[in-house]
């Protein structure tokens, strides 16, 4: 198996899918408030994706193991849940932090992005974790250019996270993405500079660090999907889909409603 290189048509398909993915997250933003249930958010996302965007929710019935199809349209991971939380009927509470992970298929191409939402007022520690994880994502993105190595991305994220006393989840990673949801390569969020595959223009991949306030260890719940921190410490995640361009990177999952690019990212 090899890493796919997208041609001009593929890049266009990826740009469209990425933009729609970000639009779903924008659409959900005003609904994320104390009292709303994650099932309500799931239904809003599904209706918007299918009826307004004329696209498909990739998670619904996604079944990489062939044994346990994912039952909902989005992933919603609260507080100590790391990723792949399944929407349910429990209302969100003031002070919760919520990751919403959206993957949209449009004309066969996938866009994948997730954001953290603060439900009402969050604690200083929770806000700090969410903000630092966002910065960690961008530390990774800044490494992306032809000739760089996947290990450069992982190293930048790990160094930043651990430098701020946070731990990096090892068992889940970013991934190549295109006409398949999860393609080669794996994009680890830890590692050594100069190691692993070299990036080439036309690759599309996600970067999606999961950072814990406590220890890095995780466990899977009995539903076969939800991942939580073993020590029950808070966990945060942000995800973008990225195109490797001839000169660097293009973030495909930006939108009007996504948070501003961090100040350390120079735009020129
Ligand atoms: N969106 C997740 C990712 O970033 C994968 C979710 S798989 C699902 O790779 F089945 F849980 F939706
Ligand atoms: Co992903
Ligand atoms: Co995702």
Average per-residue pLDDT for the chain = 98
Q: What is the largest CA-CA distance in the chain?
A: 48
Q: Determine the distance separating the centroid of ligand 3 and the alpha carbon of 71, expressed in angstroms.
A: 15
Model confidence at 38, in pLDDT bands (50, 70, 90)? very high
- For residue 267, name the pLDDT band (cuts at 50, 70, 90): confident
Q: pLDDT (tens digit, 9 = 90+) per residue, 99-120?
A: 999 999 999 999 999 999 999 9
Please name which of 207, 246, 254, 267 lies closest in space to residue 15, comparing C-alpha atoms: 254
pLDDT of residue 189 exceeding 80? yes
CA-nearest of 154, 42, 51 to 88 is 42
Which residues line ligand 1 at a C-beta cut-off of 6 Å?
Answer: 59, 62, 70, 75, 84, 101, 103, 112, 206, 208, 225, 239
Question: How large is the average pLDDT for residues 212-218?
Answer: 98
Ligand 1 pocket: which of 83, 104, 183 to mutate (most atoms within 8 A of CB): 83
**Tokens in use for 244?**
């490797």
d(C-alpha 111, C-alpha 21), whole Å: 6
Q: Over 80: is that where the pLDDT of 243 sits?
A: yes
pLDDT in tens, 55-111: 999 999 999 999 999 999 999 999 999 999 999 999 999 999 999 999 999 999 999
For residues 196 and 171, give the distance between their C-alpha atoms in angstroms, rounded to a whole number: 17
Residue 268 has pLDDT above 70, yes or no: no
Question: What does the pLDDT look like over 119-178, one tens digit per residue?
Answer: 999 999 999 999 999 999 999 999 999 999 999 999 999 999 999 999 999 999 999 999
pLDDT of residue 81: 99
- Cα end-to-end distance, the chain, whole Å: 36
Which domains are present in the chain? 8-251 (3.90.230.10)
Residue whose CB lies within 8 A of the most ligand 1 atoms, among 24, 103, 137, for a mutation test:
103
Residue 101 Cα: closest atom of ligand 1: 1
The pTM for the full model equals 0.98
**Tokens representing residue 25 in the block:** 């997250």
Q: Which residues does 174 contact at the CB level (< 8 Å), separation at least 6?
A: 153, 186, 187, 188, 189, 205, 206, 207, 208, 239
């Amino acid at each position: 198996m090899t890493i796919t290189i997208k041609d001009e048509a593929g890049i266009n398909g990826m740009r469209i899918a990425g933009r729609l993915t970000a639009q779903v997250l924008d659409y959900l933003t005003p609904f994320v408030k104390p009292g709303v249930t994650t099932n309500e958010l799931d239904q809003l996302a599904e209706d918007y994706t299918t009826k307004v965007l004329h696209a498909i929710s990739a998670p619904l019935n996604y079944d990489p193991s062939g044994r346990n199809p994912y039952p909902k349209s989005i992933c919603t991971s609260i507080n100590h849940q790391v990723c792949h939380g399944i929407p349910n009927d429990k209302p969100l509470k003031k002070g919760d932090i919520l990751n919403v992970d959206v993957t949209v298929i449009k004309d066969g191409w996938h866009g994948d992005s997730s954001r953290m939402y603060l439900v009402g007022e969050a604690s200083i520690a929770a806000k700090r974790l969410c903000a630092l994880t966002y910065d960690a994502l961008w530390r990774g993105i800044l490494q992306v250019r032809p000739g760089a190595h996947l290990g450069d991305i992982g190293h930048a994220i790990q160094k930043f996270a651990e430098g701020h006393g946070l731990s990096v989840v090892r068992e889940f990673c970013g991934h190549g993405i295109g006409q398949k949801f999860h393609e080669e390569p794996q994009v680890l969020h830890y590692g050594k500079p100069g190691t692993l595959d070299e990036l080439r223009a036309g690759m599309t991949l996600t970067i999606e660090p999961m950072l814990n306030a406590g220890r890095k260890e995780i466990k899977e719940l009995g539903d076969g999907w939800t991942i939580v921190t073993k020590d029950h410490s808070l966990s945060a995640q942000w995800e973008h889909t990225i195109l490797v361009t001839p000169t660097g990177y293009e973030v495909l999952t930006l939108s009007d409603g996504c948070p501003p690019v961090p100040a350390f990212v120079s735009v020129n």
